[in-house]
A and B are shown apart, each in its own frame.
Chain A
Amino acid sequence: MSDALPQVPANEPILRVEDLKVHFPVTKGIIIQRQVATVKAVDGVSFTIRRGETLGLVGESGSGKSTTGLAVLRMLTPTAGRIVFEGQDIAHHDGAELLEVRRRMQMVYQDPYGSLNPRMTIRTIVGEPLAVHGLDADRKATRDKIAELIASVGLLPDMADRYPHEFSGGQRQRIGIARALALEPSLLIADEPVSALDVSIQAQVINLFMDLQERLGLTYLFIAHDLAVVRHISTRIAVMYLGRLVEIADRDELYQNPLHPYTEALMAAVPVADPEVEAKRPRTVISGEVPSALRPPPGCAFHTRCPRVMARCKTEQPQLREVAPGRAVSCHLHSN
């Protein structure tokens, strides 16, 4: 194992998540709390991200995609599993070790309104990571750095001394991206970064993400529910359902030839913005809704909604199995 290498060469895994589990206790009682159940928000998820690529993580509400992102960033401590980032298992890092990891791994949030402090100027917001990490000693260099960051996300230099309320949603999201870039991270985790934006603005921010990736060689974990956006921006895509990964594949492979019935249903459910195409598309609408994560169905969690359910699906949980290089699926239809 080359785990000790400080620098990861191009196309090598920058992040390897192995059998990640994040379980939350459900408690009852006010003074004496008893644990009455466990929500398995993430239950045995494994994937790798190579340097320079974008892994799209998709799923409906309750699939565990955001929890996975938070665990990778170590905003949560995983219940079990390994998170190997740039060769180091960071699953149980804390204190100074964690601070060091966060220099190289940053987050862009969904809500451009809630994620910026309304009392800080843009200059302070964008410069804050530098201050937290003690990198702002040289005042002139810091000033230049902030100006460069603000310019790199397409904002004007004179905007630095304004406050968040003076900006639109799209501009605020740019500010959030500038802040995430301040420490020159190698991995950016973006959780629904464009879902709060209007379509015309959404396209501007998507293009910005792609331009920055090209210019700075960034790696993205891009979490979203909008499959069209994910297809557009990702190189590979992982699909989650009720805390588990059901399929992972290269972008085009996944869309042209989905192997898991859930992937297929998810894709069929998303309308294409073209009436001619829509009129010809086959329609398989799956019934029901995502079951509660408190009481996931036994066996394959998707079996209650699956159009191709078999007897063994109701009792036996399928494992994620590699069916081709870089392509894995967790379904009894594809296990021997």
Chain B
Amino acid sequence: MTSPLLEVKGLTTRFRTERGTVTAVDDVSFHVDPGETLAIVGESGSGKSVTALSVLRLIPNPPGQIERGEILFDGEDLLKLDDPGIREVRGNKIAMIFQEPMSSLNPALTVGLQVAEPINVHRGTAWTKAYEAATELIGRVRIADAASRLNSYPHQYSGGMRQRVMIAMALACAPRLIIADEPTTALDVTVQAQILDLLKELTRETGSSLILITHDLGVVARYADRVAVMYGGRIVEVAPARELYARPKHPYTSGLMASVPRLDGGGRRRLMPIEGQPPDLASLPAGCSFGPRCRAILDQCRAARPELVQVGDRHSKACFADV
């Protein structure tokens, strides 16, 4: 067994809101192995993005705060680093790709400058050299005519091209982990396939790990090695992708699978939606937060909160019921 590249233990992130303190991420533990793609899936408010932001300590404080937990990257706890220490990690050892490339790029700076910046900052490379490296990176993300495109501004790029620029920036310092938060949600499907294929290919080439945050079960099926399913701020199930789709063990996971229409599926069959609404994090029910929507609810689900326990080879779930 290789030791994991990233190990998150008991991560808890809270936000102070008008309606009281909200626990967006509640005692979440998971790991990422070197070179693997872990997908974190969940619906809005499940805590998947806050988990990702917490790993890089990008939670705005106030109102947010990482209350507890350890984030071990290569054995070093990122939560114990001082500010210069975590800045040394961001964009260097761990890079992040956001959903909306237009708001993540500086509209007033040329693309070349923005791609060269992390190389200059983290490697101390002179600007001219960094620029050369940027040209090469832009070529690697398949932007044609790289040298001349470097002098363009983000608004002169299309949505797909901007996301390629974000990938080039993420790759700039050869990070060991890339976190992509809904990287293609804003893009058309044909462009989505191009971007995700590119990301997957480049991480395979460089051997870096990828955390892919998405709500799209199709994207997970195509690109992930392992999957963590989040609901109400907690991980409810983790398993290798094939195992999870073939044998979902948590009622929420199987509910999700039954509620997505499939491109290859018989069509016009009735979908089996999960009844009810996602939980309100400000007033979670006692016990399991999925309880009120669960078909397999037991008495003990109302009283106690199930912990994530191993139920098979690399397969864990947080559920009392034997599904």
Contact = CB atoms under 8 A, between A and B. Distances in A.
Contact of A60 (B161, B189, B220, B267): B189
Nearest to A54: B268
B277 to A, nearest CB: 5
B283 to A, nearest CB: 14
Interface in B93-126: none
Interface string A262-289: 0001111111111111100000011101
Interface in A236-280: 251-252, 255, 265-278
Q: Which of the listed residues A255, A267, A278 has the most CB atoms from chain B within 10 Å of its own CB?
A: A278
Nearest to A287: B194
A155 interface: no
A232 B267 CA distance: 4
A272 B264 CA distance: 7
Contacts, number: 142
A89 B257 CA distance: 44
A188 to B, nearest CB: 17
A60 B277 contact: no
Given A229-B261, A274-B245, A289 B158 contact: yes
A272 B267 contact: no
Contact of A199 (B215, B268, B277): B215
Interface string A26-51: 00000000000000000000000000
A225 to B, nearest CB: 7
Contacts of A199: 43, 215, 217, 256, 259-260
Q: Which of the listed residues A204, A231, A271 has the most CB atoms from chain B within 10 Å of its own CB?
A: A271
Contacts of B261: 203, 206, 228-229, 231-233
Contact size range, A: 35 or more
Contacts of A158: none
Given A199-B260, A269-B193, A273-B260, 14 more contacts: A199-B217, A199-B256, A203-B273, A207-B270, A229-B261, A231-B263, A266-B189, A271-B218, A271-B221, A272-B263, A273-B262, A275-B224, A275-B245, A305-B190
Interface of B: 43-44, 158-161, 188-194, 197, 215-224, 241-242, 245-246, 255-265, 267-268, 270-275, 277-278
5 contacts: A170-B277, A199-B43, A227-B263, A255-B264, A272-B264
